[in-house]
Structure 1
Amino acid sequence: MNIQANTGMDESGLNRLSPVGRETVQDRIYRQLRDALIQGRFDAGEIFLAGDVAQRMSVSSMPVREALARLVSERALEAMANRRVRVPLLSLERARDIAQARTLIEGELAARAIDNLSGAEIDRLEVLTEDYDQAREAEDITLLNHAFHFHLYEAAGSSVFMPIVESLWMQAGPYVRAAAKLHSPLTDKAATLHHRGILEAIRAGDKTRVSNELTADISQVFAILEKADPEFWKTQSGAGL
């Protein structure tokens, strides 16, 4: 995953939520919150109250509580006292665990996908990479990065691994947000260096290289956090308290 731009990073993710319709309310609430977590719109330690979220999304509290409980079960959020829910605090140990889990699982999915990708699907990955090169807005960068990775992973055809990957991306979101605040984003072709390496490996049918390129791509965010000053981690460990 590449670093998103700092544009709009100080705006609360809750302000970006929109009203949902009456049909499949819980699922739509869940998807909005899931997508916001994946896109790094929430800070670590940010608190959710079901009533507040319900008011912002123009729904009743019950489906919000159910959606939040679902996200807690997936470890994207954590339950606290007084029915509050929050984005987990950051820790270097957890960052390392998420990075390792992502590289293991996503590397396997990418390798499996090679045999299943059609020419049209490879062309789609190329278009997403070209669009990424041209993107400058934080939200566009994040959405294109997500589209590239998940278009690749879905070709693996694993109904077991995909929910795990989605959970890992939700857990990684606050870390991506923190890394983006620590580092100015790349604004040239280097931003998609490993995406292009993945494409070259796919065309060559090289499963080892595709896994290695994917690992390097994911590791960019976490390498920034590894280099962060110890004072940064002290600050993060007390966020939201």
Structure 2
Amino acid sequence: MAPLQRDVRENLSTHVERHIRSSLLAGRFTPGDRISLISLAETLGTSVTPVREALSRLAAERAFELIPGQIARVPRFDAQRYAELRDIRVAVEGLAAERAAERITKRELAKLKRVLNQFNAASQAGEVERMLLDSRDFRFMVYEASGMPALVRIIEGLWLQSAPSFRLMYGPNDRDELLENAYGWLLQALTDHDPAEAKRAVERAVTMGASRLISIVG
């Protein structure tokens, strides 16, 4: 992580939290990762206090565990817990996609197409970190198009607990053709303003990813 460039109007611990939250959602942490609060503060160019405050709030959302010695740890992978998160995600992410299909604009569709092209290029090149980042951006652009900010916050909370495990599905230079196909299906459904198909596409993306992950790790 690079040092933070902070908007002076924003509380520092809130800014630190937003930065860490974004990294979690992009799969930049993996289950079991241990993070020194002191080292993270030095990397971000802050004192330990805002880092501790930020991680405490994220721990309350079960994204981290705080352990003695100024250490935060990403929870270890648990197949049963992940399956529970999968079932909830299927319901809420499917709803968000359904609503997005009803109201998405041409401008939003054009942005989604650009991000999907980036995702496909990263997947085909085996650039896993870039692929995870583009996948996050694509999915949340869809969910935000639902016009339901409270629902998007619920989805984000579920991703904070789930996204660190996404990286476990991939080895170096892996491609994700299944997700490429699921996202192509989703974009077409959104373009056609077809809520039922958009919902099915997202449900497939969630369930097939979870099944693959549990079979590999669980």
Q: Does residue 79 in structure 1 map to residue 66 in structure 2?
A: yes
Are 1:133 and 1:191, in contact at CA under 8 Å, matched by a contact in 2?
no
CA offsets per residue over residues 130-166 of structure 1, 9 Å max, x none?
2222223223212221121111111111121111111
TM score, norm. by length of structure 2? 0.87
Determine helix, strand or coil for the equivalent of 1:115. Answer: helix
The runs of 5 or more residues in structure 2 that have no matched partner are none
Matched, 1:20 2:8: no
Match for residue 100 of structure 1 among 77, 87, 102: 87
In structure 2, the residue corresponding to 1:227 is in which secondary structure? helix
Equivalent positions of 1:230-241 (< 5 A) are: 232-233=217-218
Cα distance in 2 for partners of 1:216, 1:223 equals: 10
**Partner of residue 31 from structure 1, selected from 4, 13, 18:** 18
What percentage of aligned pairs have identical amino acids? Answer: 26
For residue 57 of structure 2, the aligned residue among 66, 70, 79 is 70
How far does residue 220 in structure 1 lie from its aligned partner after superposition?
3.0
Aligned to 2:157: 167
User: In the alignment, is the contact (CA less than 8 A) between 2:38 and 2:70 conserved in 1?
Assistant: no
Give the whole-Å Cα distance in 2 for the aligned partners of 1:91 and 1:32.
Answer: 25
Relative contact order (C-alpha < 8 Å, sep 6+): which is higher? 1
CA distance in 1, matches of 2:105, 2:163: 30
SS at match of 1:40: coil
Q: Matches of 1:28 and 1:154 in 2, distance apart?
A: 21
Contact 1:183 1:224 in 2 (8 A): no
For 1:55, the equivalent position in structure 2 comes to 42
For structure 1, the 5+ residue unaligned runs are 1-16, 234-241
The equivalences for 1:116-195 within 5 A come to 116-135=103-122, 136=125, 137-181=127-171, 184-186=174-176, 190-195=178-183
CA RMSD of aligned residues (A): 2.1
User: Residue in 1 aligned with 2:194?
Assistant: 206
Question: How many Å apart are 1:183 and its aligned residue?
Answer: 9.5
Given the superposition, is the C-alpha separation of residues 226 and 182 from structure 1 closer, same or farther in structure 2, using an over 3 Å criterion? Answer: farther
